[in-house]
Amino acid sequence: MQESEVSARLRALPSPAMPDDVLTGIEARLALEQVVVPLTPRHRNRLTWLLAAASVLGFLVLVGSAASPGTQPVAASPIVRAGAVFEPALFADQLRARTTAKAMTRPTNTFADSSSDITACASAVQAYGRVLFLDVGSYGPDAAVVLVTAYPANPDYEEVWVVTPDCGATEASVYRHMIYDVDGSTLKSV
């Protein structure tokens, strides 16, 4: 049987009438719907200007926050510490306590031993702030390096990555990433 023959037979069948209760329900639902009015050219112009102004304002806020000078209490060259054993559940508190730990003087056998490797890791995890310090040790059962950078969007906070020791040499493996007040600068003394 051809498609045209099937179509002709279907058209020849009688169309059943829609039940009154279904028709009434559809009409009632349509009456409740809100009418959509198309934007007039005048409203479209206002919307275009409003979106343009919001975009410019957003850009200025972003540039202003990124360009604001950081008030980080850490030296210009990153401090490297070693020996930390971080437990994931206690990580934030342990990290804050480590800010006063003594800097490392011997090689760590990680990317933290070379400034170019530190830069490569920071690029791999897309860190935008200045590297403040690194802490070589473990995170849970895994060997890890904690990379702490300035957070350009808010100088009171730092951006923290927990990464594998080969970060920057291979694809970055990030165990954890967070924005945190590592140095406690936002805490109020009581």
pLDDT per residue, tens digit, the chain (190 aa), is 788 888 888 888 888 788 889 888 888 887 777 666 677 777 777 878 888 888 888 777 776 655 444 333 333 567 888 888 899 999 888 888 887 777 777 778 888 888 888 888 888 888 888 888 888 889 999 889 998 888 888 888 888 989 988 888 877 788 999 888 877 766 543 3
Q: How many CB atoms lie within 10 A of CB 134?
A: 26
Is 150:173 a contact under the CB 8 Å cutoff? Answer: no
CA-to-CA distance for 41 and 163, rounded, in angstroms?
A: 53
Beta-bridged to residue 86, according to DSSP, are 139
Beta-bridged to residue 164, according to DSSP, are none
CA 40 to each of CA 43, 44, 45: distance values in angstroms, whole numbers, following the listed order: 5, 6, 9
Is 144:175 a contact under the CB 8 Å cutoff? Answer: yes
